[in-house]
Amino acid sequence: MAIDLQTLYPKLIHLMLDTVFVVDESDHIVFVSDACKTLLGYLPDELIGTNITRYMHPEDLDATRASITRVMSGQPHFDFRNRYIRKDGAVVYILWAAFWSEEVGARIGVARNVTALAKAEEELRFLAHHDPLTKLTNRSLFNDRLISALRTAQRQGNELALLFLDINDFKSINDLHGHAAGDRVLCIVAQRLKSCVREIDTVARIGGDEFTVLLTDVTSRDAISQRLDEIHKVMSEPLPPEFAALTMPLCSIGVAYYPEHGKDADTLLTHSDSEMYRMKRYRNVGSLRQIKVD
């Protein structure tokens, strides 16, 4: 018995897990397979006759139009990614394979949902440059930003300040209250530091209980002193009630200024680190003196 392929092909297309689109020269959808319901949340009848660009993520419109121009000029595009807005408002990441058919007078594209893959790739990119616990910038990205900021400061003749912060006696928190409590304290320190700086500044966790803050476009030393006072004040605020008997540990902060204390990243980091330990020793000596007086 002969198989009627002309009848079979449309049924096969609607069985595909990927979505098939046929779009005319004016960007109107003239055909879409049933898989569009899973991909975008619309039934085929809701999409046919509408302009496909209305479903695209606004931030991807320019790149998508460039891909459309390429395809319509006769260059198939088999690895183009963009984002669409589903009927429920969610964002879906799509991988396209598309070509222009002179015979049909339309471009034909096959769309695959790659949202899970795209999200995983974003997470990996984020983790490559951020601390997984506090979500702050990590040492690698901080060094890159510091070097870039130094170049800008040198070119424009500006000052910048580098703060090196350490949590005093943090080891005792882990020893007495457990590492989970210590991790929560680190996250609170990160949040409080971020609340004290501008969007253009960078806060990083560079390891253990050590944090750095890069302050660019320094207008005056008084402004930095005020920022330090604000950080100390915020850091001295009590921990939330769920921490029970655990008290917020004090922090020691060292400061280095460009160009006074160094003109390269390593020198500034070394100076701010040394200043932090000097402040820690000063605080410890002061505490001992207070104990003796008492």
| CA gap 230, 24 in Å, rounded | 60
- pTM more than 0.85: no
What is the fold of 130-293? Alpha-Beta Plaits (3.30.70)
Which residues 6+ apart lie within 8 Å of 228 measured at CB?
163, 253, 255
pLDDT (0 to 100) of residue 294? 38
Kindly report the CATH number that applies to the domain delimited by 5-119.
3.30.450.20
Which amino acid makes up residue 235? M
Chunk the chain into consecutive blocks of 10 residues (it has 294) and report each block's average pLDDT, rounded to whole numbers.
58 86 96 96 97 97 96 94 97 97 93 97 95 96 96 93 94 90 94 93 95 91 91 91 85 95 96 94 55 35
Which amino acid makes up residue 245? A
Whether 62 is catalytic: no
Q: Catalytic one among 18, 166, 201, 209? A: 209
- Backbone torsions φ then ψ of 245, nearest 5 degrees: -80, -10
Would you say 35 and 21 are in contact if contact means Cβ atoms under 8 Å apart? no
Which residues 6+ apart lie within 8 Å of 125 measured at CB?
none
| CA gap 262, 254 in Å, rounded | 14
pLDDT (0 to 100) of residue 293? 34
Q: What residue segments make up the domains of the chain, in order of their start?
A: 5-119, 130-293
- DSSP three-state, residue 55: helix
Would you say 248 and 237 are in contact if contact means Cβ atoms under 8 Å apart? yes
| CA gap 45, 19 in Å, rounded | 14
| CA gap 291, 65 in Å, rounded | 72
pLDDT (0 to 100) of residue 145? 96
